Amino acid sequence: MNKVMHVIGNILTIAYVLGVIMTPVSLWWLLLAPFVVYPTAVLGHILFEGNKPAFLSMNPIHAKVADWHMMYDWVKELYKSRHN
C-alpha cells in the first residue's frame, strides 16, 4: 500500500506542475512541488511500514530518483499483468 501512496503522490505532483505551467500564475509556485508528494510518502511510511522515509535520512534528490524508479517499476508491472 505504501507504493500506492508514493504513486498517488507522484501523480499529484505531475498534475500540480502541469497546472502551474498551464495557468497564468508565477512559476515560483513550482518551488512548492515537493510539498505535494512528500506528505503522501510520509503518510505511507508511517501508516503501512512504520519506518522513516528516505528523504529524511539521505540526500533528498537520491530519494526522489528512487521514488520515480519505484513508480516506473510499479507501472511496468501493472502493464505486464494486464497485457499477458
In the block, residue with C-alpha cell 499483468? 81
As given in the structure block, the three cell numbers for residue 34 are 515537493
Q: How far apart are CA 43 and CA 53, in angstroms?
A: 9
* pLDDT tens track for 13-57: 889 999 999 999 998 999 888 888 778 888 888 888 788 777 777
Q: Give pTM, 2 decimals.
A: 0.73
As given in the structure block, the three cell numbers for residue 19 are 497546472
Residue 43 lies in domain? 2-82
pLDDT at 48: 85
Overall number of domains in the chain = 1
DSSP string, 2-21: HHHHHHHHHHHHHHHHHHHH
pLDDT at 65: 84
pLDDT-based confidence at 59, cuts 50/70/90?
Answer: confident
Per the model's pLDDT, the better-predicted residue between 2 and 5 turns out to be: 5
pLDDT at 17: 92
What's the Cα-to-Cα distance from 46 to each of 7, 31, 73, 76, rounded to whole Å?
A: 16, 25, 22, 26
